[in-house]
Amino acid sequence: MYRLSAAHYDAIYAAKDYAGEAAQIRDLVAARRGRHGGRLLDVACGTGRHLEHLRAHFEAAGLDLEPGLLAEARRRLPGLPLHQGDMRAFDLGERFDVVTCLFSAIGYVRTRAGLARALRSMARHLAPGGVLLVEPWFTPEAWRGGKSTVHLKTVDLPELKIARACTSLTRGRLSVMDMHHLVSTPEGTRHFKERHSIGLFTVDEMRAGFRAAGLAADLEEPGLSGRGLWVAGWG
C-alpha cells in the first residue's frame, strides 16, 4: 500500500501526536494490568513512530507487511526487533503482555474473514493477563455518508515539497482512497498514485471478531485520535 510513499510517510504525518498517543497507551495499560512495563508488540507498526516512544517503557517489537515502511522503522530504531509479516497470518513463536494495532491499520484486512484472522493472530501472541489495543477505522455509517469527498495534504520543507490530493469513495463495504502524490526534491519532481482500500466494520462486527478470538473487548471513546479504541483481554 505504501510502496511508493514510504520514504515520505513521516513528512506527510508530521503533525500526528505520536508521543501523546504513546503516553495514553502507557497509562491505559498500567491501569488495566495494575503495573507498568512488560513486553509489547506493535502490529502494523509502519515507520515505528509509536515504538519510538513506547520502547522507553516496554520491551518493544514491531511487525509490518510493507518493506518500505519497515526500512524507515529500522533506520529510526536500530536494534529493535522488527518483523515483516501479514497481520492476518503471522507467527513469531512468542507472547507479549501488550499487543497494539494503531492508526486504524486494522481496516487494511478489508473483509470480516480477514478481520477474524487478524484478531486470532494477535490473540495467539497475547500472554495471559495481557492487553490487546486496536484502533478501529470508521464504521459504515460514519464513513462520509457514502458520498465522495476530496482532501489535500501538503508538506513544505526547504528541500521537500509534497501535495497529496485524495478522492475518497465508497465501494460496498470498502472505503477507497485514491491518493495522487506530487513530490518535488532538488533531484526533480515526480507524480505517483496509490489506492488504499480499507474495510468498513460495524461495532458489532468488531466485537464479534474479538469474541471469536476468545477475547472480551470494550470500545473506549474517544480513543487516541477520536475514532475510539478497542481494549481487549482474555475473557
Could you tell me the domains of the chain?
6-137+201-234 (3.40.50.150), 144-199 (2.20.130.10)
CA gap 182, 152 in Å, rounded = 11
Pairing of strands 59-64, 82-84: parallel
Cα–Cα distance for residue pair 49/201, rounded to 1 Å = 26
- Measured CA to CA, the distance from residue 207 to residue 201 in angstroms comes to 10
| Residue with cell string 509489547 | 40
Mean pLDDT, the chain, integer: 96
pLDDT tens track for 74-120: 999 999 999 999 999 999 999 999 999 999 999 999 999 999 999 99
Cα separation, 157 vs 177, in Å, equals 25
Degrees, nearest 5: CA angle 124-125-128 = 90
Q: Let me know: does 231 contact 133? Beta carbons within 8 Å.
A: yes
Question: For 38-77, how does the pLDDT look when each residue is reduced to its tens digit (9 = 90+)?
Answer: 999 999 999 999 999 999 999 999 999 999 999 999 999 9
pLDDT of residue 234: 96
Q: Report how far residue 168's alpha carbon sits from residue 151's, in angstroms, rounded to the nearest whole number.
A: 8
Residue 25 has pLDDT above 70, yes or no: yes
Please give the pLDDT value at position 155: 98
∠ CA 208-87-107, nearest 5°, is 60
- Contact assessment for residue 75 and residue 83, using Cβ atoms and an 8 Å cutoff: no
Q: Is 153 helix (H, G, I), strand (E, B) or coil?
A: strand
Cell numbers linked to 8: 515520505
Chain-centroid distance of CA 146 in Å reads 23
Q: What is the pLDDT of residues 182-220, one digit of tens each?
A: 999 999 999 999 999 999 999 999 999 999 999 999 999
Determine whether 176 is exposed, middle or buried from the number of CB atoms within 10 Å of its CB (0-12, 13-18, 19+): middle
